[in-house]
Amino acid sequence: MRVLMPNGNLLSIKKAIAVAEMRVAFNGRDIRLCEKASDISAANAIVFLSEAGVQDICDVTMGGTALLGNLKNDLVRGVLASLVRQGYVDLSDLKLQKTQPLVSQYKFDNGTSGAYLIFGYEASACLAAVPGYPFMGMAAPAVNNAEDSEDAEDAGEEDDDE
C-alpha cells in the first residue's frame, strides 16, 4: 500500500492502524494517552508501518513509522477504506500544524486545528502491536522478583564473632 503524506513523501506501508488518542488533565499538566483503537468510532489518529521492516527495530526508531494525529473520525475511516479498496491514499492536501519539539505541544481538538505528523519511535510508542519494544501496552515487570535471602536480617551488619 502507498500513502502520499502531507509533507510530500510517498510512504510504502505494510500496515495502517487506527489509533485512539486523548489528553487528560492531571496534576497541573496534560497527559497524552495513545494506543491502538479497540473501537473504530474512537479512532482519531492513524499509524503507518512501513514495508521496509515492521520487524526491524532500526527502521521503526529511525522513521519507518509515521503517526498522523488530531484527525476527525470520518477522515480516519476514509483513509482506511481507501487503503483497503484502492491500495493507496493521497493525503497531500491535509493541513498540518506547525512542527513542535514535543508531541504534547501539538493542539489536540479532533481535527479542528489541523493534523500533526510525527515519525520514528515517538510515532510507534503508542502501539502494543509493534514487536520488539518491551513494556509497550503492558505493565512493566517488577524490578526484582527474587525472594528474600535467608541472611536478610544480617544484611549490612559486620560479624561480631571475633
Domain-by-domain residue ranges, the chain? 2-130
pLDDT tens digits along 35-86: 899 999 999 999 999 876 544 444 444 457 899 999 999 999 999 999 999 9
pLDDT at 74: 96
Q: Can you tell me the distance from the alpha carbon of 7 to that of 4, in angstroms, rounded to the nearest whole number?
A: 8
Residue 147 confidence class, pLDDT cut points 50, 70, 90: low
Could you tell me the CA-to-CA distances from 158 to 86, 148, 154, 155 in Å, in that order? 74, 19, 8, 9
Rounding to the nearest 10 degrees, give the CA dihedral for residues 12, 95, 102, 141.
-50
Q: How confident is the model at residue 158 (pLDDT cuts 50, 70, 90)?
A: low
Whole-prediction pTM value? 0.71
Does pLDDT of 138 surpass 50? no
| CB-based contacts of 80, cutoff 8 Å, min separation 6 | 16, 18, 40, 46
Q: In the numeric block, which cell numbers belong to residue 46?
A: 492513524
Question: Which helix (H) or strand (E) element contains residue 35?
Answer: strand 29-36
pLDDT of 7: 85
d(CA 14, CA 2): 9
